Amino acid sequence: MQHPVDHYVFVPRPYDGFTGQFIAGRWLAGTAGKTVIDRNPYDGSVLAEIAQASISDLDQAFDAAYRAQVEWAFTLPSERAALFFRAVAILDARKDEIIQWLIRESGSTRIKAGAELGAVRAGMLEAATMPAAAQGHIIPVDKPRKEARVYKKPVGVVGVISPWNFPLHLSNRSVAPALALGNAVVLKPSNDTPVTGGLLLAKIYEEAGLPAGVLNVVVGSSDVIGDAFSRHPVPRVLTFTGSTPVGRHIARVAAESSLLKRVGLELGGNAPLVVLDDADLEKAVGAALIGRFMHQGQICMSTNRIIVDASLYDRFVEAYTEAAKAVKFGDPNEPDTLVGPLCNDSQVRSVVRSIALARESGFRECLSGTIEGRIVPPHVFADVDNGSEFARNEIFGPVAPIIRAANEAEALAFANDTEFGLSSAVFTRDEARGLAFAQRIEAGMTHINDITIHDYPHVMFGGEKNSGLGRFNGKWIIEEFTTDHFISIQR
């Protein structure tokens, strides 16, 4: 018997037709009368011209999802699981094509693009386990011949608003579990990455055999469809990944909807990486380097502050600066480039302001370089005040602040002195000490002797304080994307 994915052994014809919307299984031109010019952030070349969605297009997408979800919810668990195995086979066959899209559209370096594709693949395999993992309960009731059952059901329609920094992964991180659990989805990607954040994913699931209307992708201006998306009465759950100010706005608008809905928010971060006095200096330097400069620092979990015990501080600054000098920056297509282009001109302006602020504050500039276009070379500032505006802001770029802490107690106080609480790390040779320190950090995630950037599809992901609401991945996302229905039986 021929395996259902055998025809993916050969390299398929590259996807094309990224010119509009994907609604109810059809590729349609948007009707807003405006066009997204999708450009390569490194060289400015035009990748696609996409007719933007209007409110009418948005309504059609949610209506299609609402209608398709009813039948999709009753699809057998094995059939839903098989969809993701087919999608994984497609990812494997189209690996080079997808990596090239990530490099060209999001400014991903080849290193980061490969890692992102791996995360999407792992997420699809994890999603394949979820149809059978959404289990209900039979609960004893203190009454003769009475039985209580709690059924686990899909919420219905999930609305997903995704960012530009890890566009394929951060879209699929919500899309795959939602589909696996019997929901339909309407996805709005960033206009900076409309293909890798949405339309490419639609092509993959369409090729894998997802029924029409179960996944819909709308590309449009936030000024036109943004609030309407959050306020729309169809989706029972909204997920958003992006900045804290935008997340707050989405939560406010969603609260105005005629239908009460859950809102999952994965927002900004200001991740501390703490180096205690007994840390392995070489390993701490390496982790802080990757944690800060991977994908140009444009990751919510990026190491945003490096807090070093005074006893190691001078040696760390010297070693870190030397290591940063060796970081290759420039063409993201080169295999050993770590720092490529920032995603857009707005990001460049923001990073330039952060550098200027550090200089105005008198912090020691250990490493700098000439900014050319959207390429910002690694910058390192030492003797940074943890209470300064420079340290308190999330720097979404390749700029590393290093902060001296007098001792462990001050290092912990510095780590927690932020409105954010997403990821964090601590370095020490004493595992018990590291665990005790980690448990006192006010964050959703803490890593001992490792980088701050981790996202495993079966392990909880989420933050505290102003870094968000809700949890992603594994059994946690199952709870987010399902609802419980209590049914009692009196015999």
Catalytic positions: 266, 300
- Residue 64 C-alpha from the chain's centroid: 26
| Torsion over CA: 96, 97, 99, 104 (sign) | positive
Q: For residues 295 and 283, what is the distance between their CA atoms, to the nearest angstrom?
A: 20
Structure tokens at 396: 């979404």
Q: Which of 159, 167, 160, 161 is nearest to 38 (CA)?
A: 167
Residue 329 DSSP symbol? B
DSSP annotation of 212 reads: T
Q: What are phi and psi of 141, to 5 degrees?
A: -125, 140
Euclidean distance between CA atoms 446 and 454, whole angstroms: 10
How many residues appear in the chain?
491
Residue located via tokens 């990596």: 99
CA distances from 282 to 275, 278, 285, 325 (A): 11, 12, 5, 16
Contact assessment for residue 213 and residue 68, using Cβ atoms and an 8 Å cutoff: yes
Structure tokens at 222: 């936030």
- What's the rounded Cα separation, in Å, for the pair 126 and 474? 7
Contact 28, 219 (CB under 8 A): no
Residue partners of 343: CB distance under 8 A and separation at least 6: 41, 106, 107, 164, 165, 192, 193, 298, 374
